[in-house]
Structure 1
Amino acid sequence: MPALRSRLALALALSMAAAFPAHADDQGVPYWASIDADVANMRVGPGDSYRISWIYRRPHLPVKVLRKEGPWRLIEDPDGERGWMRDLLLSRQRAAMIKGKGDVDMRAEPKSGSHLQWKVEPGVVGLLGDCDAGWCQFDADGHKAFAPEDRLWGTGNP
């Protein structure tokens, strides 16, 4: 009887393992992250032996993590480029990048009639705070203000 139970337990375990998706690592994706290094390489595949497709020199650049493969993450950058990056080069700290055409008015409070703090141009990267009612806290190198959410890449659901 114990041998029969062992075989049944093994068969049950194998059938349960087959029910899980091939990429069990993919739990919790997609999600937002940011580059957490002064220099970060994006590769064409999930491993050091794959060719480097991009070299990033923009700490806090927001990226969307689309897939996990061991310690590697398939990411998408603000320009839509996709590739693989080591998890050690990424942070869960939220960041955003100014998008669109023309400068963005940075406001003292989260409303359009609020005092104008300064203007920023598309491509500026900053740390992202809370977003509410179409406005997000945005910190560009210690300069903090509120930006319209629709002008930021890296907000909302990934």
Structure 2
Amino acid sequence: MGIGLTRRTASLVGATLGFLLAASAVPSAGAERQTPSGLPVPRYVSLKFDRVNARAGPGDDHRLLWVYTVKGLPVQVVAETSEWRRVCDPQGGLVWVHKRTTDGRRMVMNTREARVTLLRRPKPDAKPAAFLNSRALAALDRCEKGWCRVKADGVSGWAREGDLWGTAEAPQCH
């Protein structure tokens, strides 16, 4: 099941309040192949609206599986048609969403139970700058040498690349 199911709205929205920020697009590296958009697959995008229909196939005539209710939720595009994107969400849900419901801005999510410490510099012994709570979103600024700089609530900091969902280049759903 995907994150942001209608019956789980309250816990997700409450967990992500105050952590939604915009970020500039960060291109995804990896094996590129020809796609209808001309963009590489896989790549990360975020959901543009607080209500996005998740469908079983690429079209409005396909069964509605659930509704995402978290604007800015990071998802990974793993396939596409000219109008639809097959996306993987942080809980492993694999669905189709219309391209107009996605945004190229990169977001990340703390999918761990514990909060993630954001450091002032990309070094293990750096002082903490802030903490990213479980299920919270942050805008991705950039990743380099195994560290990612993120921004949330006007504060930026560095986290190890593997500590946040939305940074791995490999496909996240199988």
| TM class by smaller structure | 0.7 to 0.9
Structure 1 runs, 4 residues or longer, greater than 4 Å off: none
Give 1 or 2: higher strand fraction.
Answer: 1
**Identity percentage over the alignment?**
31
Q: What are the residue-to-residue correspondences of 1:50-65 with 2, within 5 Å?
A: 50-65=62-77
* Comparing 135-144 and 85-94, the one that deviates more: 135-144
Q: Larger radius of gyration, structure 1 or 2?
A: 1
For 2:70, the aligned partner's letter is R
2:18 corresponding residue in structure 1: none
CA RMSD in angstroms, aligned pairs only: 1.9
Q: What are the residue-to-residue correspondences of 1:112-127 with 2, within 5 Å?
A: 112-127=124-139
Cα displacement (A) at 1:118: 2.3
Note closer, same or farther for the CA distance 1:141–1:39 as it changes in structure 2 (3 Å cut): farther
2:56 corresponding residue in structure 1: 44
> Number of aligned pairs?
136
Distance 1:54 1:129 in 2: 30
Distance 1:132 1:122 in 2: 23
1:155 lines up with 2:155 in the alignment: no
Distance 2:42 2:148 in 1: 21
Structure 1 regions of 5+ residues with no counterpart? 1-22
1:25 lines up with 2:25 in the alignment: no
Give 1 or 2: higher helix fraction.
Answer: 1
Cα displacement (A) at 1:141: 3.5
Structure 2 regions of 5+ residues with no counterpart? 1-33
Preserved contact between residue 41 and residue 78 of structure 2 (Cα < 8 Å): yes
Preserved contact between residue 95 and residue 154 of structure 1 (Cα < 8 Å): yes
1:91 corresponding residue in structure 2: 103
Which of the pair has the greater relative contact order for Cα pairs under 8 Å at 6+ separation? 2
TM-score normalised per structure 2:
0.70
* Comparing 92-101 and 62-71, the one that deviates more: 92-101
Distance 1:41 1:143 in 2: 32
